[in-house]
Chains A and B, each alone.
Chain A
Amino acid sequence: GQNIDQPTEMTATEGAIVQINCTYQTSGFNGLFWYQQHAGEAPTFLSYNVLDGLEEKGRFSSFLSRSKGYSYLLLKELQMKDSASYLCAPSGAGSYQLTFGKGTKLSVIP
Chain B
Amino acid sequence: DTAVSQTPKYLVTQMGNDKSIKCEQNLGHDTMYWYKQDSKKFLKIMFSYNNKELIINETVPNRFSPKSPDKAHLNLHINSLELGDSAVYFCASSQGFQRSQETQYFGPGTRLLVL
Give me the interface of A with B, judged by CB distance under 8 Å: 30-31, 33, 41-45, 48, 50, 85, 87, 91-100, 102-103, 105
Contact = CB atoms under 8 A, between A and B. Distances in A.
Interface of B: 4, 31, 33, 40-45, 48, 55-56, 90, 94, 96-109
Contact of B106 (A42, A93, A102, A103): A42
Given A42-B109, A94-B98, A95-B99, A103 B41 contact: yes
Contacts of B94: 95
Given A30-B100, A87-B43, A42 B90 contact: yes
B40 A48 contact: no
User: Which of B40, B41, B55, B56 has the most chain A CB atoms closer than 10 A to its own CB?
Assistant: B41
Nearest to A98: B104
Contacts of A103: 41, 43
B32 to A, nearest CB: 10
